[in-house]
Amino acid sequence: MPGLKLEGVQFRVYRGSALRASGTASRADYRRATDELLARNLTTDLVAPSGGDARLTAAEGQGKLKERTFTASGGIVLERADATARTASATYVAGPPPLIRGVEPVTVDGTGKAAWKLTGKGFTADPRSGDLTVGGGVRLEAQEAGAR
């Protein structure tokens, strides 16, 4: 069989016996000859070992299953508790250590005692800890809650 086309896909990702992610895609195409997976309209709930679960949405994604690499593009939104990050694309590489990297502009909006917005170009995220490092001319704007 050269490939497989699926619609209305639900998936789960485990590391050992621990659930790390679950989600949906409106369509997924697997090309057996190249070990490539193409997916559309992704919504993924990420389960972080350290807590701080998050939801990632992207218009499309592609990756190689055996290499454990995946690139999401078409606009990515990552929502976690009190912060939302947006960028055009990002790539996951299993590692070690596993990392998520992006080279395009990124914006992170946060809430809490003060609303804030962090912008920069490029980032590296550690999916195990949830740590995010933003680079390239970083700018932080903060506003005290209730202030105008």
- 13-48, pLDDT tens digit by residue? 888 898 988 999 999 999 999 999 999 999 999 887
What distances in angstroms separate CA 87 from CA 12, 58, 142, one per listed residue? 24, 10, 20
Rounded Cα distance between 20 and 25, Å, is 17
pTM check: above 0.75: yes
Is the pLDDT score of 148 beyond 80? no
Q: Which amino acid belongs to residue 121?
A: K
* Ordered domains of the chain (ranges, CATH): 3-144 (2.60.450.10)
Task: Compute the distance between CA of residue 45 and CA of residue 4 in angstroms, rounded to an integer.
Answer: 24
Tokens found for residue 6: 């699926």
Q: pLDDT at position 146, please?
A: 60
- Rounded percentage of the chain residues whose pLDDT exceeds 70: 97
Q: What pLDDT, on a 0 to 100 scale, did the predictor assign at position 125? A: 87
**What's the pLDDT at 147?**
58
What are the pLDDT digits (tens) for 41-79? Answer: 999 998 877 777 889 999 999 999 899 899 999 999 998
CA–CA dist 61, 59 (Å, integer): 7
- Virtual CA dihedral for 69, 75, 76, 77, nearest 10 degrees? -170
